[in-house]
Amino acid sequence: MHWQILIQNIVGGLETGSLYALAALGVVLIYRVSDVTNFAQGEMAMFSTFMTYTVWTYSQGAGLSYPYLTAFVVGIMLAALFGYLIERVFIRPTSESSLLGKMIVTFGLILVVNGSAAAIFGTDSHYMQRAVSGTVVVRGIVFTPHSFFVIGLALALMLGLFWMIKNTFLGLAIRATAQDDEVARMMGINTKRITSFTWIAATVLGGLAGLMIAPSTNVYTGMMSDVHLKSFIAAVLGGFTSFIGPVIGGLVIGIMDNLVGFYISTDWQTVIVYGFLILVLIFKPYGIFGESPQKKV
């Protein structure tokens, strides 16, 4: 029976890991394009999930035939709008600040978004259904189809994003802005619109991660704190300078978290994972796939 439990843990790890990867990808996308480390990513994801949840309960109440699907689609649109507004209202006006200043703006955003969520949606915890319910048993291994849905969704989103970054004009513009926004602007790229787009994309990615984790955490104002921290660790582990790094970082953290939790101790799980991160950072200060930047005085 030992190997079945191992596989179960690994699949569970892949599930949460791909959510960490999605959230981390959002963080890295924003970081590359606009030099902002968005520490509010988790809170924004929580807010998006609350909006989706509200749509879900309303469409259930209205007796729509596919309440979850409706909530899923409307939720994505609301998250996009939310990301657009955050960028427009808070980020763009402060885009001339120093790097530390921009980071502190997102710390302020954590407080603003968290406080607003509590004010609008309340501080109660709500149940959210899974995308696919039920369990499947194969050779003594218990699988939940939801985890395959999550892994598949994350995979599709990531592949789509990578394809877009590599092959479309929008992707080219994103890469150009990430490399040097001044030169990109001279080449006729509307970098403001690109920044706006990355915030929208990152918020949608975060919102989806939130929606997918909601069945196991419930929907409440603190639901994303763990995912958010782990997604940052994933981004750091993989390196902020690559797009593939955070994905691998997320999967590693997800699997490791599960295995440590099961085989060593759930109480000390967080401590061990963070210890691992700090060890990696001591030896590879820019992450496993990151490059150290060239610097000028």
Q: Contact, 258 vs 16, CB < 8 A?
A: yes
Min CB(71)–another protein separation in Å: 25
Radius of gyration of the chain (CA): 19
Can residue 39 be called a binding residue for another protein (CB under 8 A)?
yes
Min CB(63)–another protein separation in Å: 32
Strand, helix or coil for residue 177 = helix
Both tokens assigned to 183:
């030169």
Can residue 277 be called a binding residue for another protein (CB under 8 A)?
yes
Among 71, 227, 236, 260, binds another protein (CB under 8 A): 236
Both tokens assigned to 52:
């989706």
Min CB(59)–another protein separation in Å: 26
Can residue 94 be called a binding residue for another protein (CB under 8 A)?
yes
Both tokens assigned to 164:
């877009």
Distance CA 134, CA 127 (A): 16
Can residue 119 be called a binding residue for another protein (CB under 8 A)?
yes
Min CB(204)–another protein separation in Å: 23
Beta-bridge mates of residue 137 = 142
Min CB(223)–another protein separation in Å: 15
Handedness of CA 26, 29, 34, 38 (dihedral sign): positive
Can residue 137 be called a binding residue for another protein (CB under 8 A)?
no
Task: For 173, list phi and psi in degrees, rounded to 5.
Answer: -65, -40
Min CB(69)–another protein separation in Å: 32
Number of residues that bind another protein (CB under 8 A): 53
DSSP letter assigned to residue 93: G
Strand, helix or coil for residue 141 = strand
- Label the pairing between strands 141-143 and 136-138: antiparallel
Can residue 288 be called a binding residue for another protein (CB under 8 A)?
no
Binding mask 172-211 toward another protein (x if CB under 8 A, else -) reads ----------------------------------------
Query: Whose structure tokens read 């700090």?
Result: 278
Q: What one-letter code names the amino acid at 68?
A: Y
Query: Which region among 183-191, 206-214, 225-233, 245-253 touches another protein (by CB under 8 A)?
Result: 225-233
How far, rounded to the nearest angstrom, does the alpha carbon of residue 227 sit from its chain's CA centroid? 8
Distance CA 241, CA 128 (A): 35
Question: Which CB, 8 or 191, lies closer to another protein?
Answer: 191
Both tokens assigned to 277:
């991160």
Query: Which region among 3-11, 104-112, 149-157, 189-197 touches another protein (by CB under 8 A)?
Result: 104-112
Can residue 291 be called a binding residue for another protein (CB under 8 A)?
no
Min CB(114)–another protein separation in Å: 6
Among 10, 118, 155, 259, binds another protein (CB under 8 A): 118
Can residue 281 be called a binding residue for another protein (CB under 8 A)?
yes
Can residue 101 be called a binding residue for another protein (CB under 8 A)?
yes
Among 61, 96, 127, 139, binds another protein (CB under 8 A): 96
Three-state SS string over 232-287 comes to HHHHHHHCCCCCHHHHHHHHHHHHHHHHHHHHCCCCCHHHHHHHHHHHHHHHCCCC
List of residues contacting another protein (CB under 8 A)? 31, 37, 39, 90, 93-94, 96-101, 103-105, 107-116, 118-119, 122-123, 225, 229, 232-233, 235-236, 240, 267-268, 270-271, 274-275, 277-278, 281-282, 285-287, 293, 295-297
